[in-house]
Structure 1
Amino acid sequence: MLRFLVLGFVLVTGSFGTAGLAMEGLKPPAILTVSGALPARMNTNLLRFDREMLASRGWHEFQTITSLDTKERRLSGVTLGAFLSSLGIDGGTLRAVSAQDDVLEIAFSDALQQSALLALDLNGRPLGVQEMGPIWLVFPVTKEEAAERNFVNQTVVQLVRIEIAR
């Protein structure tokens, strides 16, 4: 009985992280769903990604101002353009949806030109839910750009889904 209680505690709290999940034969949880007009070669209209799957698509890091304050932060993750290109998506409109169902519509060309980042780490640590994660969609902004315009609407905290429309 004690063994089942300990296992339940580990699974609920994540005390052993993804290594503990792998030992039990379980997969890490999906943190991002991509749906909609996916390439026909995929034979699906729904894909799920865990943290490792996202990180394996090309790690990128930049310093930027965020909508939280005027302090520069070091964010790391995969660029949205590289992620979409790895899926064979080369155009269309994206709907980035948060856990709270907030939506940001993005033209594919804007995601490429503005280097949008699916941030997974903040200052070298994985983003938790309390820090806008586990995925924070961020467009890089300098202090000068932040002073010139309102950029709060160009970010999605707690990103959980990307919908692709052609």
Structure 2
Amino acid sequence: MHIKSLLAACLLAVLPGLPAWAQGLDAPTGRVLLEVSGEIAATNDAAGALFDEAMLRALDWQEVETHTSFTTGLQKFAGPSLSAVLGAVGAEGVTLKATAVNDYFVEIPVSHAQEHSVILAMEMNGEKMRLRDKGPIWVVYPQSEEEVPFKRFDNEMIWQLNRLHIQN
């Protein structure tokens, strides 16, 4: 009993200095937009980590002007970075299985999150993305107009995203 009390006291002493994901995530209060599961350290549900719109907006919200092969001309996307979402859950895997509302999925290397500044776009040109226009979340890789014809990341740019599963 004495050892348990000592361990609890030590844990409480270091908790304030740990990153937010190590302390767990708050439960969503709104409609869940994204479920993250697999090799993660922080959860807020038996399924893994659930995020509503407010939770995603509280991360490092970014605006990116970019081109895609799925749109015409320069577009402005906004949403949290994929890196911030992975950091919030303490992701420890090497591959993401990104799944859409209709169960279509793609695999994305975790390393792409930072290497390519990937965002989970929730807005396009200042408008919230709805299901019928690639929302609620679209994985967007920023690209120049010159890069678009090569379609380098088209397979990874899954729309209607609602689940990420981190795996080794």
Counterpart of 1:96 (choices 95, 98, 108) is 98
Shift >6 Å, 4+ stretches: none
2:48 corresponding residue in structure 1: 46
CA distance in 2, matches of 1:114, 1:150: 11
CA distance in 2, matches of 1:42, 1:99: 21
Shift of 1:34: 0.6
CA deviation digits over 1:39-76, x for unaligned, max 9?
A: 1x648551111111111011111111123234111000
Instruction: Point out the structure with the larger strand share.
Output: 1
1:112 corresponding residue in structure 2: 114
1:15 corresponding residue in structure 2: none
CA deviation digits over 1:99-131, x for unaligned, max 9?
A: 121212111111210111100111111111121
Identity %: 34
Aligned length: 140
Amino acid paired to 1:119: A
Structure 2: runs of 5 or more not aligned? 1-27
Closer, same or farther: CA 75–50 of 1 in aligned 2, 3 Å:
same
Secondary structure at the counterpart of residue 31 of structure 2: coil
Contact 1:70 1:143 in 2 (8 A): no
Counterpart of 1:158 (choices 157, 160, 164) is 160
Secondary structure at the counterpart of residue 32 of structure 2: coil
CA distance in 2, matches of 1:67, 1:33: 27
Q: CA RMSD in A?
A: 2.0
2:20 corresponding residue in structure 1: none
**TM-score normalized by the length of structure 1:** 0.76
Counterpart of 1:137 (choices 131, 139, 144) is 139
1:62 corresponding residue in structure 2: 64
Shift of 1:147: 2.4
Counterpart mapping for 1:7-46 below 5 A: 27-39=29-41, 42=43, 46=48
Counterpart of 1:125 (choices 124, 127, 139) is 127
1:146 corresponding residue in structure 2: 148
Shift of 1:154: 2.5
Instruction: Point out the structure with the larger helix share.
Output: 1
CA distance in 2, matches of 1:140, 1:156: 14
CA distance in 1, matches of 2:141, 2:132: 20
Counterpart of 2:80 (choices 75, 78, 81) is 78
